[in-house]
Amino acid sequence: MALEIPHNALILVADGKKALLFRNTGRNGEIALREENRLSPEFSAQGPSGSRPEDQSPKETGEATFVKQIAQNLQAMKQQNGFEALVVVADPQTLGQLREAMHKTVESSVVKSLDKDLTNHTPEDIAAALR
């Protein structure tokens, strides 16, 4: 049996270039996604900690910086009681970077994670992948 995604859970769908935030408006185990926000890289913000590793391209550095921004946004939302349950859907690389960057209070709210890139899919496709 699949894990039920709670009503009002926040669903993050991300890759290294784009992040979408949805709210589960479904009840009684149903998944119905309503888009709440779109995040895109803000390169004026602080980058990843330390200098860029020699084997990391500028593109990879930009993606790592964006993942850090996503984690900071989630932390700010959590501090404002923006969600109790969080579902994270991201390609494997972004998912790993998010797990490293997430604050413990955000990480403890994760009820499900899925290692797929669904950023260019419809809300219906995303909901189907979560079932």
Instruction: Kindly state the average pLDDT of the residues 108-119.
Output: 97
The stretch 99-104 carries a mean pLDDT of 96
DSSP 97-115: HHHHHS-HHHHTTEEEEE-
Structural domains of the chain sorted by starting position, each given as residue range(s) with its CATH number in brackets: 10-130 (3.30.420.60)
- Note the pLDDT tens digit of each residue in 19-70: 999 999 999 889 999 999 998 776 544 444 454 455 555 555 667 889 999 9
For the chain, give the mean pLDDT: 87
Determine the pLDDT at residue 56.
Answer: 58
**CA atoms of 83 and 13, how far apart (whole Å):** 15
Mean pLDDT of 59-88: 89
15-53 burial: b if 16+ Cβ within 10 Å, else e? bbebbbbbbbebeeeebebeeeeebebeeeeeebeeeee
